[in-house]
Amino acid sequence: MEPLRADMFDEICPSTLNPFRFGRDKWAALVIACLEDGPRRFSELRVPLHRVTPKVLTQSLRHLEQDGLITRTEYAEPVRRVVYELTPLGHSMLGPIRTACAWTADHWDELLDAHEAGITR
Amino acid sequence: MEPLRADMFDEICPSTLNPFRFGRDKWAALVIACLEDGPRRFSELRVPLHRVTPKVLTQSLRHLEQDGLITRTEYAEPVRRVVYELTPLGHSMLGPIRTACAWTADHWDELLDAHEAGITR
DNA sequence: CAGAATCCACCGAGATACTG
DNA sequence: CAGTATCTCGGTGGATTCTG
């Protein structure tokens, strides 16, 4: 499994155009995207999510855990390690998420046009 | 086209369990659902959405308009009439919305279990 | 390393009252 | 009929600092 790149989400700036939201809070969708390929440590998640403070990231992870979408596992062995992973339920959410994101990609021009028209009016 | 019933959304109480959100604000998804079968007047929308104040409903409608999902048309003819309608873009969103809602229906038990486990812990 | 504690600013959302 | 005008309140998200 490849490491998560720091610029993973840098270009998804105008994500406010996407009319779909996943999870309870602002960062849930990005966390899910980070866990797509397998389990990740807290510090691994902080690399692409470097604009999120640890407090807020923790909050988001706790919400996802309460919603049954991820699991949190703690190891104390050599050094302290906490690993987050998608549950089967969380993994099954990827289908509808991809459907929604495909729609957004397909209609990006129209979304952009509508937004710009809304600004100049 | 049938009138919108006042109890249309009364039973969708624990919708916080649904990890998908559509549109910018809290009421956008319900407005879209109301417009599914055709254009509706402001006062028609207020029937099923009787728990939403006119100010907040107006806000939500303006957002949907800015996002290119609905149109607002004003007639002054006999009496004043303002009609809201899904755009082709808004209508095309129904597909992914249905996909997402089907997922939620399919996994309702798991979502409920996770939520209850989160409460007692 | 993986957070917790504290404080704070902003904004969505609601209550209430009023209007072209 | 279809909104607008204020006011308020609570909660999300962020900055900063501290800790087992």
pTM across the whole model: 0.93
**From the C1' of C6, which residue's alpha carbon is nearest?**
A55
The three-class DSSP label of residue B30 is helix
Res B12: pLDDT: 67
Highest mean pLDDT of the ranges A26-35, B7-16, B107-116:
A26-35
- Residue with the bigger pLDDT between B54 and B1: it is B54
User: Could you tell me the two tokens for B32?
Assistant: 């879209």
Contact A114 B21 (CB under 8 A): no
Span B57-63, average pLDDT: 98
pLDDT of residue B119: 67
- Residues sharing a CB contact under 8 Å with residue A59, sequence separation 6 or more, in sequence order: A25
Predicted local confidence at residue A15, as pLDDT? 65
Question: Which B residues in the span 82-111 are in contact with A, Cβ-Cβ below 8 Å?
Answer: 89, 92-93, 95-96, 99-100, 102-103, 107, 110-111
Residue A92: its chain B contacts at CB < 8 A?
103, 107
Helix (H) or strand (E) holding A102: helix A94-106
- Find which nucleotide's C1' atom is closest to A62's CA: C3
Predicted local confidence at residue B16, as pLDDT: 79
